[in-house]
């Protein structure tokens, strides 16, 4: 009986420590950081696009946390921007840091690819703008029509990547909202709030 109580007490202590380390401390670190003046709140379209980003599982293949150059992979050398800072996520609920990098980090994709036309073509057929990409197409976010309406957003695709039959590809509201969110991902402003791996090691 004493051994059972000791095991249960030990498990409770480990669980409590894990919660403090993995949940409470990161939360306090993020909430204690004031967002930069350049960081804007998401618009209604960008919030809808963020919900689509989550529902489509983009977070399973893309991270949103460029790492410090002291790590094995120098994200800055890849053009992914400066290391992320806690304040970069001030308006993100939930945070979409990600755990996999099947595709590139997207925290600064809005700065790297500011063109809505590029994003729309990429979503419809990734290979049309990124040869060799293994990203799946999201064609169900688009419609193929014979005669696009005056208010419809026609997607400009390279020859051979469209549906054929004289049809044009138009973006649905869901596609436009998702692109609005992707374009809003720009954390290239300057900040002094970047944690450094070497500093953490000294503590």
Average pLDDT, rounded, for the chain:
88
| Range picked from 20-29, 62-71, 89-98 for highest mean pLDDT | 89-98
**Tally of structural domains, the chain:** 2
Same domain, yes or no: 10 and 102: no
User: What confidence category does residue 164 fall into, taking pLDDT thresholds of 50, 70 and 90?
Assistant: confident
The predicted structure's pLDDT at residue 202 = 44
pTM beyond 0.95: the answer is no
| Same domain, yes or no: 83 and 175 | yes
Assess whether 138 and 59 both reside in one domain.
yes
Same domain, 93 and 46: yes
CATH number at residue 98: 1.10.760.10
Q: Rounded to whole angstroms, how far apart are CA atoms 178 and 45?
A: 8
Q: Quick: pLDDT tens for 123-143.
A: 999 999 999 999 999 999 999
Alpha helix (H) residue ranges in 61-167: 109-112, 116-124
> Residue 197: inside a domain, yes or no?
no
Host domain of residue 164: 42-192
What pLDDT is attached to residue 36?
Answer: 82
Domain co-membership, 160 together with 66: yes
Residues 117 and 171 in one domain: yes
201 belongs to a structural domain: no
Q: From CA 183, how far away is CA 196, in angstroms rounded?
A: 27
Query: Is it the case that residue 194 has pLDDT exceeding 80?
Result: no
């Amino acid at each position: 009986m004493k051994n059972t109580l000791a095991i249960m007490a030990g498990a409770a202590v480990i669980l409590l420590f894990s919660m403090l380390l993995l949940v409470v401390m990161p939360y306090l670190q993020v909430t204690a950081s004031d967002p930069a003046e350049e960081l804007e709140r998401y618009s209604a379209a960008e919030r809808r696009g963020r919900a689509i980003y989550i529902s489509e599982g983009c977070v399973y293949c893309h991270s949103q946390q460029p790492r410090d150059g002291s790590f094995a992979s120098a994200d800055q050398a890849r053009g992914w921007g400066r290391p992320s800072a806690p304040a970069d996520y001030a308006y993100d609920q939930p945070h979409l840091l990600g755990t996999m990098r099947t595709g590139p980090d997207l925290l600064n994709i809005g700065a790297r690819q500011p063109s809505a036309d590029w994003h729309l073509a990429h979503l419809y057929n990734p290979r049309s703008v990124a040869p060799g990409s293994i990203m799946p197409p999201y064609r169900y976010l688009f419609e193929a029509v014979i005669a696009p309406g005056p208010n419809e957003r026609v997607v400009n695709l390279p020859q051979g990547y469209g549906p054929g039959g004289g049809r044009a590809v138009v973006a649905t509201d869901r596609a436009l909202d998702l692109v609005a969110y992707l374009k809003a991902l720009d954390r290239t402003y300057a900040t002094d709030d970047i944690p450094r791996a070497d500093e953490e090691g000294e503590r």
